[in-house]
Amino acid sequence: MAAVGKSRIAVGIPQVGIVPLLRRAGSHVLVRRILRALVTIFFVASCTFFLVRLMPGNPVDVYVDQQVAQGMPRELAEIQAASLFSIDLDVPIWQQYVTYIGDLARGDMGMSVTRQGTSVGSIILQFLPWTLFSVGLGLAISFIGGILLGILAAYKRGSILDHLLTNLFAIIQAIPNYLVAVVLLVLVGIRYPIFDIGAMRGTLSPGVKAGFTLEFIKDALYHASLPVFVYVLTSIGGWMLAMRASTESTLNEDYVGAGLARGISPAKIAIGYVGRNAILPLFTQLMIAIGFSVGGSLLIENIFAYNGIGMALSQAILQRDYTLIQGILLVITTSVIVINLVADLVYSRLDPRLRSGRND
């Protein structure tokens, strides 16, 4: 009887092995995408580790050469470098790689090579908020402005206003943002000194403390005004042209004509029908732009001496700060990959046509 009871219990309980569970999890679209994202991050982190070490020179050589150029004897410069830098270049590179991946798995990006006793994470947290503020503000203004101008140009297609907006922003879009920054700096800072470029260096004026105060907000906006203006001017054209094309395509849909025939007001059609559907193709582009905004702009931040993550990356490259370069590039890569994953999942929810029957 005991044997029969055990057999009945065994029959009544579903037997689920680890292999079927893994197979079932692997067949899930979300699980596959998350695994793919993790593998991509691991691959990028590994490539970055080896690529930065292929750069000519190393942090010790760069420091020694700088000190020798200033008149210090090479032997003394080498002694100082050995005591300042937290890196042992004699360790085999494969051991450095294993240590780096092990620390990274625990969420530790290591210590800065050239800033003794300072973690890479703390440096990134020091510079990243300013980049997110300036680039994020520029992205928000350019996206909203581009959407409104794109809808206006589409509804006025063929008019003088349409040709003016399209040609003007197409020309501006073709100009590199760093060139616009240099021209702006020369015009408003040197030729016609509207702004005090020296006082606008950095992210805050001396004596201003960070906090939710009017003084802090005004000062932060003042220092970020020129970089934000460049971001807006050089990116609004792309959003405008993309929204114009999407709106024109949407205006040719049958449901727009059907809505007009049913007596729906043109304003409601423009907002509820045309605008909502025309903006969907731009959603993925916006999410990708948000991901790349974490990296800021290396050239723009250096031109305006704005202390963002892009400027920190350029300084790390010049000093050959291996761990800081790896950390910043890893944060940028991870943000882009995660944002792309979120965009793909959210877009399938926003567009009803993709909710069912979509294969990965």
Angle of the 322-350 helix axis to the 280-293 helix axis, nearest 10: 160
Quote the CA–CA distance of 257 and 348 in Å, as a whole number. 26
Residue 180 has pLDDT above 50, yes or no: yes
**What is 66-92 written as a DSSP string?**
HHHHTT--HHHHHHHHHHH----TTS-
Contact in structure between 111 and 86 (CB atoms under 8 Å): yes
Residue 344 Rama label (left phi>0; alpha psi -120 to 50; beta): alpha
Determine the average pLDDT of the residues in 15-19.
52
Q: Answer with the residue of higher pLDDT: 55 or 148.
A: 148
Looking at the structure, tell me whether residues 261 and 141 fall in a common domain: yes
Looking at the domain assignment, is residue 360 inside a domain?
Answer: no
Task: Find, among 308, 330, 333, 297, the residue nearest to 127 by Cα.
Answer: 308
Looking at the domain assignment, is residue 7 inside a domain?
Answer: no
Share of the chain above pLDDT 90, in %: 7
Per-residue model confidence (pLDDT) at position 51? 86
Which of the listed ranges 1-10, 83-92, 139-148, 239-248 does the model predict with the highest average pLDDT?
139-148
Query: Which ranges of the chain would DSSP assign to H, the alpha helix?
Result: 2-12, 18-26, 29-52, 59-69, 74-84, 93-105, 120-155, 160-174, 177-186, 214-251, 254-261, 266-268, 276-278, 280-293, 298-303, 309-319, 322-350
Looking at the structure, tell me whether residues 93 and 127 fall in a common domain: no
Give the confidence band of 266 by pLDDT, cuts at 50, 70, 90: low
Residue 43 has pLDDT above 70, yes or no: yes
Looking at the structure, tell me whether residues 101 and 127 fall in a common domain: no
Give the confidence band of 9 by pLDDT, cuts at 50, 70, 90: very low
Per-residue model confidence (pLDDT) at position 10? 46
Residue 99 has pLDDT above 80, yes or no: yes
Residue 161 has pLDDT above 60, yes or no: yes
Residue 141 has pLDDT above 90, yes or no: yes
Determine the average pLDDT of the residues in 191-201.
82
Contact in structure between 292 and 336 (CB atoms under 8 Å): yes
Looking at the domain assignment, is residue 14 inside a domain?
Answer: no
Looking at the structure, tell me whether residues 83 and 170 fall in a common domain: no
Per-residue model confidence (pLDDT) at position 142? 92
Determine the average pLDDT of the residues in 202-208.
82
Quote the CA–CA distance of 15 and 41 in Å, as a whole number. 35
Per-residue model confidence (pLDDT) at position 1? 47
Angle of the 214-251 helix axis to the 177-186 helix axis, nearest 10: 130
Q: Answer with the residue of higher pLDDT: 164 or 84.
A: 164
Per-residue model confidence (pLDDT) at position 7? 46
Contact in structure between 129 and 221 (CB atoms under 8 Å): no
Looking at the domain assignment, is residue 8 inside a domain?
Answer: no
Residue 138 has pLDDT above 70, yes or no: yes
Determine the average pLDDT of the residues in 203-218.
83
Report the chain's mean pLDDT, rounded to a whole number. 79
Domains of the chain: total: 2
Quote the CA–CA distance of 50 and 153 in Å, as a whole number. 49
Looking at the structure, tell me whether residues 92 and 156 fall in a common domain: no
Looking at the structure, tell me whether residues 100 and 249 fall in a common domain: no
Tokens at 239, concatenated = 């959003």
Looking at the domain assignment, is residue 250 inside a domain?
Answer: yes
Determine the average pLDDT of the residues in 225-240.
90
Looking at the domain assignment, is residue 146 inside a domain?
Answer: yes
Give the confidence band of 84 by pLDDT, cuts at 50, 70, 90: low
Query: Among 105, 139, 161, where does a domain finish?
Result: 105
Residue 254 has pLDDT above 70, yes or no: no
| 237 φ/ψ angles, rounded to the nearest 5 degrees | -65, -40
Give the confidence band of 24 by pLDDT, cuts at 50, 70, 90: low
- Pick the range with the lowest mean pLDDT from 62-71, 242-251, 257-266, 294-303: 257-266
Looking at the structure, tell me whether residues 336 and 190 fall in a common domain: yes
Looking at the structure, tell me whether residues 149 and 94 fall in a common domain: no
Report CA-CA distances (Å) from 244 to 149, 274, 319.
8, 11, 45
Which of the listed ranges 106-115, 135-144, 331-340 does the model predict with the highest average pLDDT?
135-144
Looking at the domain assignment, is residue 1 inside a domain?
Answer: no
Residue 359 has pLDDT above 50, yes or no: no
Quote the CA–CA distance of 149 and 307 in Å, as a whole number. 32
Query: Among 105, 132, 151, where does a domain finish?
Result: 105
Q: Answer with the residue of higher pLDDT: 188 or 260.
A: 188
Determine the average pLDDT of the residues in 28-37.
80
Give me the domain span that covers residue 44.
Answer: 19-105
